[in-house]
Amino acid sequence: MAQVKTYVRPMGGWWRRNPYFVRYMIREASSVFLAIYSVILLVGLWRLTQGAAAWEAWLGALTNPISILFHWLALLTVGYHAYTWWKVAPKTAPDLRIGGRPLPECAITAGGLLGTIGASILIYVIVRWL
Amino acid sequence: MKRSNEPIFWSLFGAGGVLSALVAPILIFITGIIAPIGVWMPPDALAYPRALGFAQHWIGQLIILALISLFLFHAVHRIYHGLHDIGVHAGTGAMVAAYGSALLGTLIAAWLLIAVGF
């Protein structure tokens, strides 16, 4: 039996060959940060059920430099995800029409980004002053 | 033809995507950066009585459950489908592990919210 030597393009590091794929992988990686953040919140909720001392210990752990660094990376990647989410929203949203005309793509993206900014300001104000 | 389970998981993924796009950056910024560092936030912003009051109010409970559950379902969907991109050809086991862990996280959150009281 003759071995057929077909060239198979190696796929290792495929996403580093093109900036488009690098951005894609950063967006996908944001989900790992989001999952870890969810678990951090879940642990916080668990500590809250154990009383004031446990809750204070959880808050104390969040001041660890490694925790701060993690949250900066999470903010960058999850923030980038939020931007890409609204960027593709015109493709994924149901057909939105106003007066029979489809809503312009930039209006959907802008609406989403304004929603993020508005929600962020609202949450900051509530946590800080209410 | 066997019915696909994809619509259920895509709905949870989509809901988590919208929720995370709206509020995840500011929440990470507040709970993970400015509150621990102590800038732009009063020191008692996340103090025990406030946090407990929030977790014992039904609106706070709905918010906490929605955040943890939908963030998890969004993230595991991405991670599960992203395995292919890093050369891991995941099967049913990985799928069960992914969505199962999100479901487990949801159930633990619900149980803790009942434990924290009303």
**pTM reported for the whole predicted model:** 0.93
Domains of chain A: 14-129 (1.20.1300.10)
Reported as a single tens digit per residue, the pLDDT across B55-64 is 999 999 999 9
The number of angstroms, rounded, from the C-alpha of B26 to the middle of its chain's C-alpha atoms is 14
Contact A15, A24 (CB under 8 A): yes
Residue A124 forms contact with B (CB below 8 Å): yes
Contact B66, B27 (CB under 8 A): no
Facing residue for A68 by CB, picked from B14, B33, B79:
B33
3-state secondary structure of A99: coil
Half-sphere exposure of A24 (CA within 13 A, CB side): 12
Residue B1 lies in a domain: no
Confidence tier at B13 by pLDDT (50, 70, 90):
very high
Reported as a single tens digit per residue, the pLDDT across A105-121 is 899 999 999 999 999 99
> Are B31 and A68 within 8 A, CB to CB?
no
Residue B3 lies in a domain: no
Q: Which domain holds residue B71?
A: 8-115
Contact B19, B69 (CB under 8 A): no
Q: Tell me the Ramachandran region of residue A90: left when phi exceeds 0, alpha when psi lies from -120 to 50, beta otherwise.
A: alpha
CATH code assigned at B87: 1.20.1300.10
Based on the structure, what is the number of domains in chain B? 1
What is the average per-residue pLDDT within A118-130? Answer: 95
> Are B26 and A40 within 8 A, CB to CB?
no
Residue B2 lies in a domain: no
> Are B109 and A42 within 8 A, CB to CB?
yes
